[in-house]
């Protein structure tokens, strides 16, 4: 697994992906997989992650918020 992760990191660095974007994408996919493994049960997922359920909910809300396309303000002439 370590070699696969090293390869992935090298590809991300070569493509110029920013650190924050890489961390956010990792967290999004990791949490999604854990939730799938627990059939969407937040309490069980949080317990397996070693975090409080409220913390998991805040993380999910923040990830959803960052996924939304940002609206442009209308230009008033």
User: Any idea where the domains of the chain sit in the sequence?
Assistant: 22-66
Residue 32, pLDDT score: 95
**Percent of the chain residues past pLDDT 90, beyond the cut:** 75
Contacts of 28 (CB under 8 A, 6+ apart): 63, 67
pLDDT tops 60 at residue 77? no
Average pLDDT over residues 58-66: 91
Mean predicted confidence (pLDDT) in 38-59: 97
Through-space distance between the first and last CA atoms of the chain, rounded to whole angstroms:
56
CATH of domain 22-66: 1.10.10
pTM of the model: 0.75
């Amino acid at each position: 697994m370590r070699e696969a992760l090293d390869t992935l990191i090298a590809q991300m660095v070569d493509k110029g992906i920013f650190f924050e974007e890489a961390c956010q994408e990792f967290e999004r996919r990791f949490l999604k997989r854990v939730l799938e493994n627990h059939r969407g049960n937040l309490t069980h997922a949080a317990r397996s992650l070693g975090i409080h359920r409220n913390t998991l909910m805040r993380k999910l809300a923040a990830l959803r918020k960052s996924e939304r396309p940002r609206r442009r303000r209308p230009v008033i002439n």
